Amino acid sequence: MPEEILESTEADAYQGAYPEIAAKYKAGEELSDEELDTVADIALGVLRDLLGFFDAADAPIDEYDGDEGELILDVTASNLAVLIGRHGRTLESLQTIFSLLVSRKLGFRYPVVVDVEGYRNRRRDKVVGMAKSAASRAMRQGRSVSLPPMSAYERRLVHIALRDNHEVETHSEGADLDRHVVIALV
């Protein structure tokens, strides 16, 4: 393949197949329903391709909007606990691969979250509850409280859950798998 064609092909692949939607999204403009449907269709196609590696390409997938404006795709087949993995680590890895593939196809990063049997929703509720309980404990005991190590997503949930509590502040400490949130008094 001549070098110019190769460079052109690589640039086109990086831009994605939807430069008009990408330009509009990057400019902060609201996407139309048709454009959002295109994003959802691409995301569903990528997810079905990935699920094919687990013999689950035909698994039911519920599609809905999240609290932060993201698109959530919830795989509802009950026999796919293997996709969640221990402490959700497999699901986090699947999310990373999925996000990269969707971003590559679209030409921009649109927030699409993959869930399995509502695991993320249940885990979010648990993490938010844990954060509020730890904040109460910190205020009651008059000292900082450290939460157990969490993924970046879960640490973000803690920060968001406590950002309106003016009696405590949160920050992350540690590295890699030992990274955790500390809730301190203001």
Which of 69, 92, 117 terminates a domain? The answer is 117
Task: Specify which residues 169 forms β-bridges with.
Answer: 184
For the chain, list residues with pLDDT below 70.
Answer: 1-15
Confidence at residue 109, expressed as pLDDT on a 0 to 100 scale: 94
pLDDT for the residue 4:
46
132 and 111: one domain?
Answer: no
- Angle between helix 33-52 and 89-106 (nearest 10): 130
3-state secondary structure of 38: helix
Q: What is the pLDDT of residues 119-163, one digit of tens each?
A: 988 999 999 999 999 999 999 999 999 999 998 889 999 999 999
Q: What is the pLDDT of residue 107?
A: 92
Maximum Cα–Cα distance across the chain: 70
Beta bridge partners of 168: 185
78 and 136: one domain?
no
Residues 61 and 152 in one domain: no
Side by side, the strands of the sheet bearing 71-75 are 61-65, 71-75, 112-116
Q: Exposed e or buried b for every residue in 8-44, given b needs 16+ CB within 10 A? A: eeeeeeeebebeebbebbeeeeeeeeebeebbeebbb
Q: Are residues 85 and 137 in the same domain?
A: no
Domain ranges, residue 112? 3-117
Q: Which of 89, 117, 145 is the last residue of a domain?
A: 117
Whether residues 85 and 175 share a domain: the answer is no
11 shares a domain with 36: yes
CA atoms of 128 and 124, how far apart (whole Å): 6
pLDDT, position 151: 87
Do 75 and 49 lie in a common domain? yes
> Tell me, what's the pLDDT at 15?
62
Rounded CA separation 74/154 (Å): 18
Same domain, yes or no: 110 and 136: no
The confidence score (pLDDT) of residue 37 equals: 95
C-alpha to C-alpha distance for 58 and 48, rounded to whole angstroms: 7
Domain boundary among 67, 102, 117: 117
126 contacts: CB under 8 Å, gap ≥ 6: none
What pLDDT is attached to residue 2?
A: 44
Same domain, 178 and 102: no
CATH number, domain of 68, equals 3.30.300.20
Tokens found for residue 105: 């196809």
Question: Same structural domain for residues 41 and 95?
Answer: yes
Read off the CATH number of the domain in which 142 is found.
3.30.1370.50
Number of domains in the chain: 2
Rounded to whole angstroms, what are the CA distances from 5 to 9, 10, 16, 17, 19?
6, 9, 16, 17, 19
